Each structure stands twice: as structure tokens, then as C-alpha cells.
Chain A
Amino acid sequence: MARDHLVTRRVARWLDQRLGSAKLARTALGKVFPDHWSFLIGEIALYAFVVLLVTGVYLTFFFDPSIEEVVYRGSYEPLRGVEMSQAYASALDISFDVRAGLVMRQIHHWAALLFLAAMVVHLMRVFFTGAFRRPRELNWIIGITLLILSIFNGFAGYSLLDDQLSGTGLRIAYSITLSIPLVGTWLASFLFGGEFPGPDIINRLYVIHILLLPALIIVLLTAHLGLVVRHKHTQFGGRGRTERNVVGEPVWPRFAFKSIGLMLLTAAVLAALGGLAQINPVWLYGPFEPANVSAASQPDWYMAWLDGALRVFPPWEARAFGYTVPNPFFPAVLLAGGTFALLYLWPFLEARFTSDTLEHHLLDRPRNRPVRTSLGAATVAFYTVLSLSASTDVVAVTFGTSVNGVLVAFRVACLVVPPVVGLTTYRLCRELQLRDEAAGMAPPERPRIRWELLRVWEWHARRRARAAPTDP
């Protein structure tokens, strides 16, 4: 044991002479992280991403992103002799003829689903506790960008396999791009290299999926974590926790081992799923043929809200002077764009409406911000109903009802459920606040919400008043 110490000490000194690492390591390992359980959700997302990287690299050794037609000669009998793209054939090879290939492929796909789920829950945690306020607006923006990039990367990833189900999704993506006014046809031509399916789509998706988007994600993720270190993590108030301190565990040794443990547990859950639960059995879907389609075609869960929006949006279209704004533009482009625009702007909107531009390092308990919490809950409810709307045909078949009726029901639900959820949440928050007060807890200071800013017609007068103040 004595020799061990000596060796590690020698190595540490060697590194320090070249990097100055001792001082850096002391600061880094001494950083204090508040240890509330909900702060681990972002870590779960991070570790799912690590699993994605590791399994993804493995898969790149076996996948062939070529759209060239070949005749399948592998070991899956029901497709032997069938013509298919090289990409699909290599996916079949990974699933049937590469040892451990299927388990790696499945872990990779489950990890993508988990990555996005954890990101969404992490986003909700940050939102409901107000952790996006100054100075963390930049980090919020980086986080939303990470979400968007990951959604696209997931879509690109499962479309690589050139199976019937994902090919249908690609066709829908092409048509949505086409629907953008003025530039849609050009954008679609640039993305696909021509008309659908294009001569080279799989290769382009491959570059996007293994190089462009992961590189962007890694850079932004590093910035995201760097900002957390720079700003220090937020914490809940109470029991000596203030805006001027950070109370928690030091990185070394407890937090580090807890985090490594969580990483291994995340990987373990993904490994179990990858081996025990079949995901995306492309051999049953068959190779992509543009003229074929299967019943019960849905995208992966993180795009279900888009599919649901496409289904429930009524058949409205705008046509004038020979120009068309086609129907899919409204649910797929406008709604999606509006969603993310609102997400990006939220910290600034809230700051404006609450006149609160101070630095905040203490988190809100959601009940103490009933307006924010109920608006957020209503939004979550809206996107949940939209996501469930993607399953209209499966719901109809499972429950033996008319798919037409199910669709109408979901349309109504999209409009009715969010306000109901919002109002209920608001009442719940007030109830909990009253209970806190009864239990003797002092109510925290709540900002006044400047609802008058919503009066659009007053903006002009307000701007004029600000430009020419009455008192010199």
C-alpha cells in the first residue's frame, strides 16, 4: 500500500509540473454541489448521452450508410433474396450477424429515448423552480438549443436504417419542409439533394447524425456544464441556505462517487432495457419502399407531439393568387416554431412581467409562484395531449371505437384539458401556500405580475411616456 501512495503522488507531481494541476484540482474537487434529488435529473440526461456516444461509436464500425441496392444474403430468412439498400442490409447484419450487435443497437436506441425524456424532465425542474433567472438565462438558452438539436439528432438516427417506418417519417419531414412558404421547395431540395427520396439522403443523415449534431451537442453541453460551475448550482432556501452561500457536498469524495454510481446505474438500466425489451425491430418493418406504408405508423415519442398536431389540426389551408400556404405548415412549422420561441424567450418575458432583474441563486418552491407553475402545467398538459393524439388509430383499435370519434375527442381535449389543468394547478398552489402559512412558515416575497403589459394597445403610449419622462 505504501508504494501505491508513492506512485500516485509521483504521478500527481509529474502532472502538476506540466499543467499546474494541483491548484486547479484542489479548487475543482472542492466545489460544493447542493444535493437535492431533483438536481440529479440533468445528470441522468448527461449519462444517457455518454452511453449514446459509446454505443454509437461501436455501431459506426458496422453500419454502411449507402442507398445502393443490394440483395440480402444474411441470416434473417424472411428477407433473404429481397432487394434493399445497403444501409438497411447493414442494419440487419448488426441485428443478426454481428455478435452483441443487436444489444448495442437497442441500448443505443433506448438511450436516445431516455436522453430526451430526462432532458424534458430536467427542463421542467429548471422551469418550475425558476432556475432560469439571472444570471442563468444563457444557460437556459443553451439548454433549449440542446433539446432541439437532440430531437433532430434522434430523428436523423432512426431514419438512417432506411426501414419502412422511418422512411415514412422522412417523407413526412420532406413534405413539412416543402410546406414552408417561399423557400420550402428550395430547402427541401437542398436537404434531400433533389426530390424525395433523393440520391443520397442516408449518407447526409449519417454525416448529420454522427458528426455535425453530436459535435454541436458536445460543445454546447460543455458550455452548459461550464456555466453551472461558473455560476455555482442553485439551491433551495431554508436552514441557512442564502443567496450568498452554497451548501452541499464537496465533489471529493462523496459527490464524485455518487455521480459515478448514478452513471453506472443509468447505464445498467439502459443495458437491461437493451437486452430485455425489443425496440425498433426493423426486420419486421421491411426495407423502405416509397409506395408502401404500414398501419399504426408513429414516430419516436419525442416527435409524437408533432405527429399529433398534424392529425388534430383541422383541414385549413391558405390559398391566394395561385400561392398556397399548405395545411402542414401551421401545426408542424408554426406551432413548433412558436413553442421553441416561447421557450427561448421565457426568462426575459418573466423578468419583464415581474420587474425582477436581480440575481437569483435560491430556487422557488413551485407553490410559491402559482402563476408560473400553472402556466407551465397547462403547457405540459397541452403537449402531453398532443403527443397522445399521435396514437389515435392505435387507441381506436385497442378500445374498439371509431378513429374518427377518437380524433374529435382529442381535438376537444387539446383545447379543454390545458386550461383545466392550469386552473387546478393554480388552486393547488394556493392551497399548499395556505397550508404552509398555517404551519407557521413565513410566506416568501412574491413579485407583482404586470398584467397590464398584455394590453397591446397601450404599448405605443407607454413607449412615448418612457422616451419623454414627465419629470426632468
Chain B
Amino acid sequence: MARARRLRRAPGPWRLPVVVGLAAVATGLALAGTSAAAPTAGPARQGPEPDLVAEGRALYRTSCVSCHGVEGAGQRAPDGALRGPSLEDVGPAGAYYQLTSGRMPIGNPDDLPQRKEPAYSPEEIEALLAYIDTITEGPPVPEVDPESGDVAAGGTLYRENCQSCHSATGAGGALSYGNAAPPLGPPDARQIGAAVRAGPDPMPRFGPDLLTDQQLDDLIAYVEYLDDPDDRGGLALGRLGPIPEGFLIWVGGLGLLLVAAFWMGTRRRDAPRVDPEPPGDEADPGTAGVDAGGNAPLARAADGERDGP
């Protein structure tokens, strides 16, 4: 949990150089052919790159403005229904999450966003982020370093904050009215960090005072662990808990044994005919020996009549 301390907000002039610095690193990584998050260097103190912002604005105007409106103000359809929410507190972190997970851009604004292949290249995403940063007030893309995170501490944080929606094993979970907390794998550290900091709808937002940067690293380390956890017990069955276990015991456990019982027992139709008289027993008066395939009443009528209708 975040220790209570004074709020530390990065003052305005810092944000753009940080983003540009990140954009420079990201471009370098893209050129090197890797997409993994890496510990970033400190923020480069550079001036704003007008080209990047302009490129971002151009991309924004091509596909985002139709739903999110001019300068991210949000857009309503003619009948008043919301087409796209305002981006005012999305920030680069929120945009990074939505764009790199392919959730945005979305074809039909009435659909729920689904994870798919990103529509933009990493350079285009950097440009969009630069532009988003100029029009929103939200959190920056966090610098994450899961290698320095403590998995055990991250596990405790995960169980306190995340498992109620994403489940203890990161399998995801149902939310209201069709929404769902998605499964967390395969993990992308920066994407996870961006999601945690930005709180993309309907997720709550965990700023630096709720989770410090070190705690975020711990958390991401644990989420990465959950992608390939210790399944030493055998088949994980989806890690959904007692439901698949119950199905397996009925189908694979009892089902198998019932087949075995069917094989080793006899079937009623195959039973050989026998003489109903047990050997050595004196002739019992009134033995019906009926071969009816149903119930033959016992000879002792006195039993039955005592409790008549």
C-alpha cells in the first residue's frame, strides 16, 4: 500500500521533455527491432519536438477525432448518445495502454473494446502520445523496471488490489453489464504499468500515492510471474478453480470408473436364467417364482394388510 506522504506532482515543464525522451528511446528500440520494455534512462531535457506533435495531431485527426472530438473533448451523436468519452484525464499512459493493446481505435463505439493487434506502429504511437500529452492532463507513461521488483511483495499487492477483478491467477473476471476485467497475459510490463496508472475504464486508477513506483515494479514482477506460474501439480485446467476440477472428476474420474463398472459387472439382459428354487431349502409355501420382470409380492399377506389404505 502507498505510504502516506505529500503529493508529488511533476510540474508542467517537465512533462514534455519526459515524453520526448521516452519517444526517443522508444524509437531507438523500435529501430533495434525489440519491443520489450527496458529500464529507461533519466528524462532527457529537450525541447518539445513540434514534428512529433504535428504528426500525432495528423494521425489523431484521421481516425480518433470522429469519436473523441476535436482536441479530445469528447463527442456525442446527434441523438445525444455518447460516441467517445472526453480524453481530458486519459494522459499518455491511458493512450499508450489503449493503443498498444489494440483496443483503440475501435470500429463501433458501442462495442466493448477488445484486445487485438495494434493498429499503429510504435513510431506512430509515440507521435500520438506526444499529441495526447498536449491536450490532456493525465498521467505519463510510467518508467517500469520489473527486474528490480520483488515478486513476493508484488504478490501481496496483487492480492490486495487486483485479484478481485482479475482473479488470483490473472485469468480475468466478469464485471457488470457485459464488461470484463481481461486476463493479464501475455504480460507487457510497460503496458501493465500504463494501465495501472491510467485506470482505463472501468478500471480504477492507481496513482503514485496509492502505489509507489517501486510497488508498481513489484506488482509487474508478480504479474509476469503469473504468466507462467508454478503448476507443479499437473494440468492447470485453466486455473479457474473448482469449476473445471468439478467437471474433470465427473467426466474423467467417475465417468471412467462407471465405464469400468459397466465392463466388469453384468447387464440385466445378459443375466443367465436360473431355477428360482434355492437348493436345500424346504419348499416354501406360496413362493411365486414369477418371471414377470417386475415385482412379485411376498406370500406373507399378513404383513401388507396391517397397514392397509
Contacts and interface: CB of A to CB of B under 8 A. Distances in A.
Direct contact of A and B (CB under 8 A): yes
B245 A301 contact: yes
A136 to B, nearest CB: 14
A123 interface: no
Interface string A366-408: 0010000000000000000000001111101100111111000
A118 B278 CA distance: 33
Nearest to B245: A279
A44 B257 contact: yes
B120 to A, nearest CB: 25
A38 B299 CA distance: 28
A245 B233 contact: no
B241 A165 contact: yes
Interface string B167-209: 1110111111110110000000000000000000000000000
Contacts, number: 290
Given A241-B274, A359-B298, A368-B294, A278 B254 contact: no
Nearest to B309: A355
Contacts of B263: 37
A117 B253 contact: yes
Nearest to A266: B257
Given A35-B265, A237-B294, A262-B261, A402 B178 contact: yes
Interface string B14-35: 0000000000000000000000
Contact of B264 (A117, A245, A262, A298): A262
Contact of A244 (B165, B169, B287, B309): B287
Given A41-B258, A295-B174, A237 B272 contact: no
Contacts of A106: 233-234
B307 interface: yes
B292 interface: yes
B293 interface: yes
Contacts of A279: 233, 245
Given A37-B266, A278-B235, A397-B173, A80 B152 contact: yes
A286 B159 contact: yes
Interface stretch (B55-63, B70-78, B223-231): B223-231
Nearest to B277: A245
A99 interface: no
Contact of B178 (A110, A266, A401): A401
Contacts of B225: 78
Contacts of A314: none
Contact of B265 (A39, A270, A368, A450): A39
Contacts of A295: 163-167, 172-174, 181
A296 B295 contact: no
A357 interface: yes
Given A113-B245, A293-B164, 10 more contacts: A78-B229, A113-B253, A114-B257, A237-B293, A238-B293, A242-B289, A279-B245, A283-B230, A301-B246, A394-B243
Which 8 residue pairs of A and B lie closest in terms of their CB atoms, listed nearest first?
A444-B294, A37-B265, A295-B173, A301-B246, A278-B233, A393-B174, A402-B178, A240-B274
28 contacts: A35-B265, A41-B258, A102-B233, A106-B233, A110-B253, A117-B250, A121-B258, A165-B168, A237-B294, A240-B276, A240-B291, A244-B287, A244-B288, A258-B264, A276-B235, A277-B233, A278-B235, A284-B168, A284-B169, A285-B168, A292-B160, A294-B163, A296-B167, A357-B307, A396-B178, A402-B178, A403-B175, A445-B297
